[in-house]
C-alpha cells in the first residue's frame, strides 16, 4: 500500500492516533497520521543524520562538543538519540517519550539500540521535568527537546514554567536545544519569550534552511562563551570531524540573533 508518496511498511493505532512507517527510495520516515515527517532514516546508514532539522540540532556541538549526561524530551524514531550514542561513547542518555507505541516502532523499524547507556521512560515530558525539578537540580549538561504530535509542537514544552524547570535540571554550565516550528508565529513568539525570560536571554536561534523548523538554544550562566573567531575555528574543525555544515550554522547564528548575540557570544 502506498501513502505519502511512499510504501507503507508498518501502521499501528494507539489511543493518541496513527503511527505509520513509510519507505521511499532507500529512506524510511515516521508519520503520525499526517504527511509531516516526525523522523527519517537512511535505511542502509541508520546512524546518519539525513534530515536538515536534525543536522541543525547538532549546532549544540559548537558549545558542548563532548556531552556526557543528556536528557531528551521526545523520541520519535530515535534519530538524534542514535546519533549521540554512536558519536559519544561515554555519554548517557535518558529519554522521556509520551507514547509507548512510538518506542516500540523506534526499536522495530528505526534500529534504536538496546544500549546500557540509554534509558527510555514513558510519560509526559513536561510533567517529568516539573517533578524532577522539585527533587533535584543540576543533573544534566545537555537537554534536547523534540516533542511534536500530528498537529505540531507539544504545548507541554512551551510554558515559562517548563523552561524554569529545565534550567533547574541543567548543570551550571549546561545548555538546552529545542526543535521549534517557526510557521506558527504566535506559539513561536510565546516560546521565545518564555525561554528568554527563564534563561535571562542567553538564547540563540538557528532557522533550518528550506524548512519551517527553527532550533532554539538556551544557556546557563556559566556556559562557555566564545568569540565569533573562536566559533568559526571550531566550526571548521567540527565540519571535518562530523561532515555537517557547522560554518553555515555560525553564519546563521550571527545573521539571525542580532539582539541577543552578545549575551552568548563574546565581542
Q: Is the pLDDT of residue 153 over 80?
A: no
Going by C-alpha positions, the residue among 211, 201, 202 that lies closest to residue 179 is: 211
Three cell numbers, residue 69: 549526561
**267: confidence class by pLDDT, cuts 50, 70, 90:** confident
Q: What range defines the domain where residue 67 resides?
A: 47-266
Distance CA 130, CA 185 (A): 26
User: 213-219 and 226-227 as β-strands: parallel, antiparallel, unpaired?
Assistant: unpaired
The answer as to whether 259 is a domain residue is: yes
**Residue 174 — φ and ψ, nearest 5°?**
-85, 175
Three cell numbers, residue 40: 527519517
Three cell numbers, residue 227: 568569540
Number of domains in the chain: 1
- CATH at 260: 3.40.50.150
Three cell numbers, residue 43: 535505511
Going by C-alpha positions, the residue among 232, 237, 226, 266 that lies closest to residue 251 is: 232
The pLDDT, as a whole number, for residue 152 is 61
The pLDDT, as a whole number, for residue 149 is 59
Helices (H), 58-184: 79-87, 100-109, 125-135, 160-169
The pLDDT, as a whole number, for residue 151 is 59
Mean pLDDT of the 136-147 span: 90
SS3 66: coil
User: 17-24 and 6-14 as β-strands: parallel, antiparallel, unpaired?
Assistant: antiparallel
Three cell numbers, residue 148: 511534536
The answer as to whether 94 is a domain residue is: yes
Q: How many helices (H) and strands (E) does the chain have?
A: 9, 16
The answer as to whether 90 is a domain residue is: yes
The answer as to whether 10 is a domain residue is: no
The answer as to whether 3 is a domain residue is: no
The answer as to whether 25 is a domain residue is: no
Determine what percent of the chain is predicted with pLDDT higher than 70: 97
Distance CA 42, CA 24 (A): 10
pTM over 0.75? The answer is yes
The predicted-structure confidence for 56-85, as pLDDT tens digits, reads as follows: 999 999 999 999 999 999 999 999 999 999
Per residue in 202-240, is it b (16+ CB within 10 Å) or e — as a string?
bbbbbbbeeeebbbbbbbbeebeebeeeebbebbeebee
The predicted-structure confidence for 10-45, as pLDDT tens digits, reads as follows: 999 999 999 999 999 999 999 999 888 889 999 999
The answer as to whether 11 is a domain residue is: no
Per DSSP (E only), the strands in the chain are 2-3, 6-14, 17-24, 27-31, 37-42, 69-73, 92-97, 118-122, 140-145, 148-149, 152-153, 170-181, 203-207, 213-219, 226-227, 265-266
The answer as to whether 20 is a domain residue is: no
Amino acid at each position: 500500500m502506498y501513502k505519502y508518496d511512499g510504501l507503507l511498511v508498518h501502521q499501528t493505532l494507539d489511543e493518541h492516533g496513527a503511527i505509520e512507517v513509510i519507505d521511499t527510495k532507500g529512506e524510511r520516515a515516521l508519520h503520525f497520521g499526517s504527511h509531516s515527517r516526525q523522523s527519517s532514516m537512511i535505511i542502509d546508514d541508520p546512524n546518519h543524520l539525513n534530515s536538515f532539522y536534525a543536522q541543525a540540532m547538532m549546532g549544540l556541538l559548537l558549545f558542548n562538543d563532548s556531552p556526557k549526561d543528556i536528557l531528551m524530551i521526545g523520541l520519535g524514531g530515535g534519530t538524534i538519540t542514535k546519533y549521540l550514542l554512536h558519536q559519544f561513547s561515554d555519554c548517557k542518555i535518558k529519554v522521556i517519550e509520551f507514547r509507548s507505541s512510538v518506542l516500540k516502532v523506534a526499536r522495530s523499524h528505526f534500529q534504536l539500540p538496546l544500549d546500557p547507556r540509554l534509558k527510555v521512560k514513558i510519560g509526559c515530558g513536561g510533567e517529568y521535568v516539573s517533578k524532577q525539578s522539585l527533587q533535584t537540580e543540576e543533573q544534566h549538561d545537555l537537554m534536547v527537546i523534540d516533542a511534536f504530535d500530528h498537529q505540531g509542537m507539544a504545548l507541554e514544552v512551551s510554558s515559562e514554567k517548563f523552561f524554569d524547570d529545565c534550567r533547574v535540571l541543567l548543570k551550571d554550565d549546561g545548555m538546552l536545544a529545542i526543535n521549534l516550528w517557526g510557521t506558527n508565529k504566535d506559539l513561536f513568539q510565546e516560546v521565545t519569550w518564555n525561554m528568554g525570560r527563564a534563561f535571562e536571554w542567553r538564547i540563540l536561534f538557528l532557522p533550518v534552511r528550506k524548512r519551517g523548523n527553527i532550533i532554539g538554544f538556551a544557556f546557563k550562566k556559566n556556559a562557555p562563551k566564545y568569540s565569533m573567531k573562536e566559533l568559526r575555528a571550531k566550526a571548521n574543525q567540527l565540519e571535518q570531524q562530523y561532515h555537517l555544515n557547522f560554518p553555515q550554522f555560525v553564519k546563521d547564528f550571527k545573521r539571525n540573533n542580532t539582539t541577543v548575540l552578545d549575551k552568548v557570544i563574546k565581542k
